[in-house]
Structure 1
Amino acid sequence: MNGHSRFPQQSSHSAVGTGEPLKTEFTLFTEGDELYAAMARSIRAATHRVFLASYILAADEVGTVLLNELMRQSRRGLDVRVHVDALGSSSCLPLRHRRQLRAAGVRLQRFHRWSWRQPMRYNRRDHRKLLVVDGQTAYLGGFNIHREGSQRFYGLTRWRDAHACFGGILAAEAEALFDAFWCGHPDGDPLKSNEGDSRIVPNTTRRCRIQLRCTIKDQLVTASKSIWLVTPYFVPDRGLRRQLIFAARRGVDVCILTTEKTDSAPAQWAARAFYGELIENGVRIFEYTPRFLHSKVLLVDDIWGSIGTANFDYRSLFINYELTLISRSRQLISQLRETFLDDLKNSHEITLVDWKHRGFINGIYDVFGRFLRKWL
């Protein structure tokens, strides 16, 4: 399968004088090298403003290319803003690189730096990965900006991920959400003008502190055919676990694809602690084996899909700030489905026999995982 695929989507807005719906083109990226090259081209083509948010923005072989493009555009007089998470980018975006950005005129913010006056806020991170150029082109998904996403620089063990590029009203919506966050309004609501079959959903808004979770739950409750979930950190709360089990019991194909290789052993302990309960009730669980799977995708009944920055865990649904693209586009869902099935071929199903023979030590890890699940 190619690293990216192009396909159109119907928008709710009409072409002037024709009454025909405008088409918004989506691009799905599953290879970091192709994504980073496309992002660099979009930044290079900008004429007014470039907004970039990333949990991890590393000044390495991958990040330096984009940082140079950002500084070049800022020197040309464009409005260039970069919003990074203070914790996520703490060690990979050193002070000297931050000074270079600011010297070039780039406006840089670091979200929730450590403060002795407000120590608890340090636990709430900005986990978004978003690039918006001129309010017309946006990139959103699971890829951070670092060498781990690149086959060229990290090799065959690069992280497996997914990212979407889109334009139109969705790009304008993404820019509005970035600007609200930048101005200190992290619970900003999406634009009300978007009434099409795609929208961008923050996990928290002024009207609902758990909006993304509620949206996911509604889809799980109404699923009649299939629920296919891809997430590197599978630590659902009790309510979502129950909905997955209820769906499996009523005959829905509930399939969870997570990762065997991980960058967080405690998070994997927490995930595996619930395998037995889910498998016994008909939920099928697969672990992707070739490399670290970092994608965040949900498909329901082949008619509803999501791709974004949120994992299926407490931190993404209740604590951190996230953005998720939700769509009923047939073409987008078809491509996400194809990618899911490709990854499934390189995965190992966890059976009840596997679970029951996992060993005493793993049972101890389960206990720790359950205890830590809300903090991972």
Structure 2
Amino acid sequence: MLRSIDRAQDSIQLESYIFADDIVGQEFCRALIERARSGIKVKVHIDAAGSLFWFSRKMQNHMRDNGVELRWFHRWSWRRPWRYNHRNHRKLLIVDNRIAYLGGFNIHKENSCKHYGEARWRDTHVSFDGSLVSVAAQLFDAFWHGKLRSQPLQKAEGSKLLHNQTLSCRHRLRCVYGEAFSKAKKYIYLTTPYFVPDNHTLRQLCKAAERGVDVRLLVPGKTDVRIARWAARHIYASLLESGVKIYEYLPRVLHAKTVVTDDHWSMVGTSNLDYRSLFTNYELNLATIDQQLARKLKQQFIEDLSLSECISLNDWKKRDGVTRWQGRVAMILKRWL
């Protein structure tokens, strides 16, 4: 991403849920300012809630004073307080309308091997070019101008950028997940850092396993949001009883959001499989029938399983009372996680 920014000749559009004033954020800040000073149009859109305790006024002023156009998404307003809860959870970079980057990576040191070492978050990001880049640019511009349900036309080339809360469908990603799970014939390999799905999505996963599909769910053993993990664990039993295999990733925080089915369909992006991503936040995913990407995501998934603990139904039924109580409390708050 930094190399692409350094090589930019015309424009840079960056959208991030978290933009931290840390060693990685400062590196991006310097790169963006250098390009802005050279006459390139640089736009940065940051979520007000996501970056509340990460971004600094000093960095904001430094960017703006040096030619970077910076906007906050849904800053707090006493007139419209409910709007603050609807977050822009997208992480998107577009350079020169030529190449785009999308996935789980925020702009902070936790994603950096160089600065965070072996404890860095396990995450997944993709880059792409071609006609989809212009679609990504249209989606960025729409959000920049406050048109949150814009839906650009996309050619049917086997790959699409999907966002939720469009004019035609308010719960688009939920529908896509459900359709993919219901159509799967061989396997579903799902990675998500926060697993708190609605009942419909949960039933689709269970039904897939019950009809013989190899359904495997990879979730974090370590997490940055403990209560979300409590909620996920509360629904393990129903999944395990249906034949879903559940794995907890052990080495570090898992933040990747991917799904692969039957060797030919995959999706990667910013949405978690939880209420907030499916119904409240603004998200952006790449869904594709590109077999090369599906193969790479499947390979990564299998590699991650080798570093994970498989949860058995018998062991899970023996969990202590504190764990059960934590799950019940978390499920009460599931729509806000």
TM-score of the two chains, using structure 2 as the length reference:
0.98
- Residue 317 of structure 1 and its aligned partner are, at CA, apart by 0.7
Aligned: 1:357 with 2:321: no
Distance in 2 separating the partners of 1:355 and 1:372: 22
Q: Which amino acid aligns with 1:313?
A: D
Per-residue CA shift, 1:264-315, capped at 9, x if unaligned? Answer: 1110111011000110111111000000000000111111000000000000
Q: For structure 2, which runs of at least 5 residues remain unmatched after alignment? A: none
Per-residue CA shift, 1:153-179, capped at 9, x if unaligned? Answer: 112111000000111111111111101
Matches within 5 A, 1:4-23: none
Q: Which amino acid aligns with 1:289?
A: L
Q: Which of 57, 68, 71 lines up with 1:95 in the alignment?
A: 57
Corresponding residue of 2:216: 255
- Residue 147 of structure 1 and its aligned partner are, at CA, apart by 0.5
Aligned: 1:296 with 2:291: no
Q: Which of 88, 112, 118 lines up with 2:74 in the alignment?
A: 112
Q: Which of 13, 28, 31 lines up with 1:66 in the alignment?
A: 28
Report which stretch shifted further, 60-69 or 307-316.
60-69
Corresponding residue of 2:333: 372
Q: Which of 167, 177, 181 lines up with 2:139 in the alignment?
A: 177
Q: How large is the Cα RMSD of the aligned pairs?
A: 0.9
Q: Which of 78, 93, 99 lines up with 1:137 in the alignment?
A: 99
Q: Which of 158, 161, 167 lines up with 2:120 in the alignment?
A: 158
Is the CA contact (8 Å cut-off) linking 1:187 and 1:206 kept in structure 2?
yes
Q: Which of 45, 48, 60 lines up with 1:83 in the alignment?
A: 45
Q: Which amino acid aligns with 1:140?
A: L
Distance in 2 separating the partners of 1:187 and 1:138: 21
Distance in 2 separating the partners of 1:110 and 1:167: 27
Distance in 1 separating the partners of 2:131 and 2:19: 27
Q: Which amino acid aligns with 2:71?
A: Q
Is the CA contact (8 Å cut-off) linking 1:83 and 1:182 kept in structure 2?
yes
- Residue 124 of structure 1 and its aligned partner are, at CA, apart by 1.0
- Residue 368 of structure 1 and its aligned partner are, at CA, apart by 0.6
- Residue 113 of structure 1 and its aligned partner are, at CA, apart by 1.0
Aligned: 1:148 with 2:110: yes
Whose strand proportion is higher, 1 or 2? 1
Corresponding residue of 1:14: none
Q: For structure 1, which runs of at least 5 residues remain unmatched after alignment? A: 1-38
Per-residue CA shift, 1:217-250, capped at 9, x if unaligned? Answer: 1111111111110000001100011111111110
Corresponding residue of 2:86: 124
Q: Which amino acid aligns with 1:114?
A: W
Q: Which amino acid aligns with 1:189?
A: Q
- Residue 204 of structure 1 and its aligned partner are, at CA, apart by 2.0
- Residue 68 of structure 1 and its aligned partner are, at CA, apart by 0.8
Is the CA contact (8 Å cut-off) linking 1:259 and 1:289 kept in structure 2?
yes
Report which stretch shifted further, 183-192 or 229-238.
183-192
Per-residue CA shift, 1:115-158, capped at 9, x if unaligned? Answer: 12111111111100000001110000001110001122112111
Q: Indicate the SS of the match to 1:269.
A: helix
Aligned: 1:235 with 2:196: yes
Distance in 2 separating the partners of 1:298 and 1:327: 11
Report which stretch shifted further, 111-120 or 315-324.
111-120
Q: Which of 330, 336, 351 lines up with 2:291 in the alignment?
A: 330
Is the CA contact (8 Å cut-off) linking 1:43 and 1:70 kept in structure 2?
yes
TM-score of the two chains, using structure 1 as the length reference:
0.88
Is the CA contact (8 Å cut-off) linking 1:177 and 1:190 kept in structure 2?
yes
Distance in 1 separating the partners of 2:60 and 2:311: 45
Distance in 1 separating the partners of 2:168 and 2:31: 38
Matches within 5 A, 1:190-339: 190-192=152-154, 194-339=155-300
Distance in 2 separating the partners of 1:322 and 1:115: 22
Distance in 2 separating the partners of 1:358 and 1:81: 50
Q: Which amino acid aligns with 1:73?
A: R
TM superposition outliers: structure 1 runs of 4+ over 4 Å = none
Distance in 2 separating the partners of 1:157 and 1:354: 28
Is the CA contact (8 Å cut-off) linking 1:198 and 1:325 kept in structure 2?
yes
